[in-house]
Amino acid sequence: MLECEACGEQYEPEQNIQLCECGEPLRLEYFHGDIKEGKRDVWSRYGEFFPFEVDEKLSLGEGNTPLLKAPSISKKLDVNLYLKNETVNPTWSFKDRGTILSLQRAVGLRIKKFGTVSTGNMATSVSAYGARNGMTSIVLVPANISDKKIEQISTYGPVLIKVTGDYGDLYYESLEVGKDEIYFTNSNSPFRIEGYKTIVFEICEEFIPDYVIIPMSSGGLFRGLTKGFKELKKSGIIDEIPTLISAQAEGCSPICEAYQSGEEEIERWSEPDTVASAISNPFPPGGNDVLRKLKEHVGMCERVSDKAIINAQNEIAQEGIFCQPSSAVGIAALKNLRRKNKIEDGVDVVSIITGAGLKGEMVSDDEQAISRCDLEDLKTCLTRFF
Ligand SMILES: Cc1ncc(COP(=O)(O)O)c(C=O)c1O
Ligand SMILES: [Zn+2]
């Protein structure tokens, strides 16, 4: 059954519908179950938490990502920090976990065209899964997308369209034009967010943290992780849900803005302006639902500057992971919250490192850190460093 997060309206699962008539996102009902130990594949291990069997032929091997200790940042901030490294997914971001379930949904609805609206990561993911499974992928991207992202997406051969206009509105327009011809799996699609639950299941198989930090744009990842935690609680696998912290860039933070001003609903952000372009949805379709969930679980919402994002990206690189600026917002937020004493000493924190730096989002371009020399001067050049 599909249920509206806001008004509770229910829709038959056979219906190809992603948004409630009231405009708010839908989700599947809450499930409970057990984790089947000894199975490596995530869809078998957590199979009881899904109302369908995931067709392994559709899989590119998503999930089972490392939960890596971050000793230097932990020491600096006096917490036990772990990085959930989603950069090692098949198309280098967490989106793959949701794309496979969306693809299965499209196949189940007998729709042959698989689409998405994306600033880059979902576009790459949908194109790859579509290509492997013989679907025509339709990818709608903002007109100002970087060439590097275009290169990655077009490798898989989708129908790729740069759309000039409001990115927030494109979400709704795609669902309208797609109807029964194209299955658009956008950021808050109910089957997409189901896939994100596996991140929570993997973390809790290792340990239950005190805090989980989630980079946020449209709200889909936050909604998926919250559902995962609720289902684990319902199943008696965890007693308490960790405090969830959503992190946004100062240059586009409609959800934090509304949360911090005590509003019930988000307002459209007029002009997104941040290096973290992958998390710059000006009108997040899951925004109101995230607000409800932050209130229900007394979560936190933290905004960070571009400078802090780039610094955090460099610090994460020192732990051995090259992530995109949009993923580094989590550590930048953690630093702010420690400075403001909103997070205690010595607690266990997991930050979701959502996507790889190779994605071509703007990265720190520190010319100072690059040396140049002629071949014959190499030895002399090297002596400057030792
Ligand atoms: C790298 C990265 N991190 C975080 C997010 C946030 O996900 P959501 O839009 O589901 O909130 C995105 C979304 O595109 C992303 O690309
Ligand atoms: Zn509704």
Q: Between 8 and 179, name the one with better pLDDT.
A: 8
Q: Model confidence at 363, in pLDDT bands (50, 70, 90)?
A: very low
Type of residue at 205: E
Give the pLDDT of residue 132. 96
Full-prediction pTM beyond 0.85? yes
d(CA 309, CA 367): 18
Give the pLDDT of residue 297. 85
Q: Is 142's pLDDT higher than 80?
A: yes
CA of 161 to the centre of ligand 1 (A): 20
**Structure token pair of residue 71:** 């000793």
- Give which of 91, 82, 88, 160 is closest to 128, Cα–Cα: 91
Q: Is 119's pLDDT higher than 90?
A: no
Q: Model confidence at 367, in pLDDT bands (50, 70, 90)?
A: very low
CA of 8 to the centre of ligand 2 (A): 6
Determine the number of helices (DSSP H) and then strands (DSSP E) in the chain: 13, 13
Rounded mean pLDDT, 77-90: 98
Rounded mean pLDDT, 81-85: 98
Q: Model confidence at 364, in pLDDT bands (50, 70, 90)?
A: very low
Looking at all shown ligands, the one closest to residue 280's CA atom is: 1
Q: Model confidence at 128, in pLDDT bands (50, 70, 90)?
A: very high
Residue of 354, 361, 362 to mutate, ligand 1, most atoms within 8 A of C-beta: 354
d(CA 357, CA 380): 32
**Structure token pair of residue 135:** 């679907």
Rounded mean pLDDT, 358-380: 68
Verify whether ligand 1 is closer than 6 Å to residue 217 (CB atom).
Answer: yes
Rounded to whole angstroms, what are the CA distances from 202 to 7, 11, 266?
31, 30, 31
Verify whether ligand 1 is closer than 6 Å to residue 209 (CB atom).
Answer: no
Cβ partners under 8 Å of residue 239, min gap 6:
233
d(CA 253, CA 258): 9
Rounded to whole angstroms, what are the CA distances from 272 to 72, 147, 327?
32, 20, 17
Looking at all shown ligands, the one closest to residue 99's CA atom is: 1
Give the pLDDT of residue 362. 59
Q: Between 27 and 379, name the one with better pLDDT.
A: 27
Q: Model confidence at 372, in pLDDT bands (50, 70, 90)?
A: confident
Residue 258 CB burial class (10 angstroms; 0-12, 13-18, ≥19): buried
Give the pLDDT of residue 147. 85
Q: In sequence order, what are the beta bridge partners of 214?
A: 246
Query: Whole-number mean pLDDT of the chain?
Result: 93
Type of residue at 28: L
CA of 184 to the centre of ligand 2 (A): 20
Neighbours of ion ligand 2 (CB under 5 A): 4, 6-7, 9, 20, 22, 24
In percent, the amount of the chain with pLDDT more than 90 equals 82
Rounded mean pLDDT, 190-219: 98
Residue of 187, 266, 275, 288 to mutate, ligand 1, most atoms within 8 A of C-beta: 187
- Closest atom of ligand 1 relative to the 120 alpha carbon: 16
